[in-house]
Amino acid sequence: MDNRYSVQEFIQKTKQEDKGQGLFELETERILEINLDGDIWAKAGGMISYRGDIKFVREGILEHGIGKFFKKALTGEGTSLMKASGNGKLYLADQGKKISIINLEGESIYVNGNDLLAFESNLDWDIKLMKKVAGMLAGGLFNVRIEGSGMVAVTSHYEPLTLLVEPGSPVYTDPNATVAWSGNLQPEFVTDVSLKTFFGRGSGESIQMKFEGSGFVVVQPYEEFYAAEQQ
């Protein structure tokens, strides 16, 4: 009898295993395991399973102050967060996207709001709406600035690529393919009519993000369009 496809073989190949990596653990490339003992913030709707005593609370409108409330109203539901509290194992995923864990050590990072999966509750965060492109890119473009010491989980379609930004050698990216960048960089939006038919395929196809200085920017081999752009 061929045991390659037996139930036991399937379980053996796919069962959860403790890797002893700490609070955030990549159970697979596309499933994040959180060994919860306290609180974490996660993308609303990102929970696929849990075990233990865990409570979920959707982010309160005024929990983080009136300033964030107004910015949240402008950015829509893309940054909706939930707080998971308690003890147990929590499993998160986002449409099968690849997950990367970044451990901040007193550093800061900007993450596209669509690509933020989870982060430790002790980290400071703030929503940043890029107003200059709100009229150029349908639905605008927003990101979350995270700072402090702790774990952040970000997602990307397929494998991410990190490009180093060096003085005198700016890096240009497609806004829809940009996942994250170092907190010390302030991207500038530029247009190049000559690239209109070559750079991107969305409504903002002639717009690029220009990164100058010293730092890094993370891109994915995929253009992530927002609901407003797809209509």
Query: Is residue 9 situated within a structural domain?
Result: no
pLDDT exceeds cutoff 70 at 117: yes
Q: Is residue 13 part of a domain?
A: no
CATH number of 208's domain: 3.60.160.10
Can you give the pLDDT at residue 22? 86
83-92, 146-155, 194-203: range with lowest mean pLDDT: 194-203
Task: Name the residue among 192, 101, 190, 222 with its Cα closest to residue 151.
Answer: 101
Question: For residue 195, how many other CB atoms are within 10 A of its CB?
Answer: 15
Q: What's the mean per-residue pLDDT of the chain? A: 83
Domain for residue 2, yes or no?
no
pLDDT average, residue stretch 25-32:
95
Is 6 a domain residue?
no
pLDDT of residue 75: 46
Using the CB atoms, write b or e for 43-53: b if 16+ within 10 Å. Answer: bbebbeebeee
**Distance (Å) of CA 149 to CA 24, 103, 105, 119:** 14, 7, 4, 10
Confidence of residue 230 (pLDDT cuts 50, 70, 90): very low
Please report which confidence band the pLDDT of residue 198 belongs to, taking 50, 70 and 90 as the band edges: low
188 occurs within a structural domain: yes
In a domain, 10, yes or no: no
Q: Where are the beta strands (DSSP E) in the chain?
A: 24-28, 31-43, 47-58, 81-92, 98-112, 116-120, 124-129, 142-156, 161-165, 171-173, 178-182, 188-191, 207-211, 215-219
Distance CA 64, CA 186 (A): 24
Is 136's pLDDT higher than 50? yes
Assigned domain for 174 exists: yes
Which of 41-50, 127-136, 195-204 ranks highest by mean pLDDT?
41-50
Residue 203: its pLDDT value, please? 47
Does residue 221 surpass a pLDDT of 70?
yes
DSSP class of residue 151 equals E
Range name among 48-57, 90-99, 120-129, 207-216 with the lowest pLDDT average: 120-129
Structure confidence at residue 1 (pLDDT): 58
Range of the domain at 43: 21-230
In a domain, 201, yes or no: yes
Neighbours of 61 (CB within 10 A): 11
Cα–Cα distance, 144 to 131 (Å, whole number)? 14
Structural domains in the chain (count): 1
3 state SS of 119? strand
- Residue-wise pLDDT tens digits, 58-105: 876 545 555 555 455 444 444 578 899 999 999 999 999 999 999 999
- Provide the pLDDT for residue 191: 81
Averaged over 164-171, what is the pLDDT?
A: 96
Give ∠ CA 121-122-126 in degrees, rounded to 5: 75
- The CA-to-CA distance between both ends of the chain, in Å, stands at 53
**pTM for the whole structure:** 0.83
- Residue 227's pLDDT band, with cuts at 50, 70 and 90, is very low
